[in-house]
Amino acid sequence: MSKAGRLVVLVSGSGTNLQALLDASADPAYGASVVAVGADRDGIEGLSRASRADVPTFVEKLGDYESRSQWDVAIAERIAAYEPDLVVSAGFMKILGAPTLKNFPVVNTHPALLPSFPGAHGVRDALTHGVKVTGCTVMLADAGVDTGPIIAQEAVAVLPDDDEHTLHERIKTVERRLLVEIVGRMVREGWTVSGRTVRIGN
């Protein structure tokens, strides 16, 4: 069997997407292994999940640096130390800078069907707009906010009595499954990017 792909997962909160990746990688057939978990803050459940799984962790707080560019370099160096094949931004609430994006492919998720409703309030914005269908997007991160090439999307119906919480919970269930599926396929099958089109496999 070929060597498992190395994943560095970045988190800012509870780490439910991280947990889904940890659970999936417990099966050798998945083809990927979480080799480190990074965060931008201490004391979060995502770091605790990593510790319980005996996965190394690191924390780089933006406030510890005089400038954003210094933090960009520091977190890129911490990521690089684990020689990842893929970086997964799993609820990581910071935009990664050029030192990371130029050196590693970064997979990110968003709780809407991009390019509609980018930004921090995708679920709320979709509800406010009155859409009947929203969903989640898995993309390759770039320097913008939710502007990278789209890898996969899945629709989620908006129910008449949905509020932001109930809709977001249903989207997150789909998002976890889709993220695990796409990361596994990328590591096992490879991928290519042509313009804005991402293709997995040959």
Decide: 81 and 109 in contact? Cβ < 8 Å.
no
Beta strands per DSSP E along 13-129: 32-39, 57-59, 86-89, 106-110
165 is catalytic: no
Residue type, 103: N
Q: Computed from CA positions of residues 89, 42, 80, 19, in that sequence, does the dihedral angle turn out positive or negative?
A: negative
Alpha carbon of residue 40 to chain centroid: 14
Q: How far is CA 61 from CA 40, 54, 131, 153, in A?
A: 5, 22, 37, 31
Beta strands per DSSP E along 60-149: 86-89, 106-110, 133-140
End-to-end CA distance of the chain: 19
**Choice among 110, 121, 129, 168 that is catalytic:** 110
Number of alpha carbons in the 13 Å side-chain half-sphere of residue 98? 2
Q: Kindly give the pairing relationship between strand 133-140 and strand 106-110.
A: antiparallel
Positions marked catalytic: 110
